[in-house]
């Protein structure tokens, strides 16, 4: 069974940092594009950051560009999201997701981890 398990969420003050991790189990994700999404209460799930299979190409939403960094360690089947200069508006549940290269549909999702930024 394929699983994506997020960890690292929590409560942090504005201006602080958190590092989220997504551990993949059940298969390797070498040929998958890995992404982080977030969803705040009452809002739709939104793309935050993504990384190609090689790790050489990354993408970020405008709201996090320059503050968040996505990385992957295929040897450990893990994806990280380093979040810095956090703002209250970053408060949301953060989800890890994977889609096969060449497709647009995300095949696998994690259960999410809560990030709360206090002002």
According to the model, what pLDDT value does residue 29 have? 81
Give the DSSP per-residue string, 18-52: EEEEEEEESS--TTEEEEEEEE-TTS--EEEEEE-
According to the model, what pLDDT value does residue 56 have? 85
Confidence band of 37 (pLDDT split at 50, 70, 90): very high
User: 50-108, pLDDT tens digit by residue?
Assistant: 998 888 899 999 999 999 999 998 888 899 999 999 999 999 999 999 998 888 999 99
CA atoms within 13 Å, Cβ hemisphere of 48:
29
Is the separation of the CB atoms in 17 and 64 below 8 Å? no
- For a pLDDT cut of 90, what percent of the chain falls above it? 76
Q: What is the DSSP letter of 88?
A: G
End-to-end C-alpha distance for the chain, whole angstroms: 40
- Tokens at residue 23, please? 């551990």
Give the DSSP per-residue string, 68-79: EEEEEETTTTEE
């Amino acid at each position: 069974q394929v699983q994506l398990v997020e960890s690292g969420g929590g409560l942090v003050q504005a201006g602080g940092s958190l590092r989220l991790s997504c551990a993949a189990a059940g298969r390797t994700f070498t040929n998958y594009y890995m992404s982080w999404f977030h969803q705040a209460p009452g809002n739709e799930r939104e793309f935050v950051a993504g990384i190609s299979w090689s790790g050489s190409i990354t993408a970020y939403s405008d709201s996090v560009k320059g503050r968040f960094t996505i990385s992957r360690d295929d040897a450990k089947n893990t994806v990280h999201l380093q979040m810095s200069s956090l703002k209250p508006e970053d408060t949301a549940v953060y989800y890890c997701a994977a889609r096969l290269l060449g497709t647009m549909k995300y095949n696998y999702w994690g259960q999410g981890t809560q990030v709360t930024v206090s002002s």
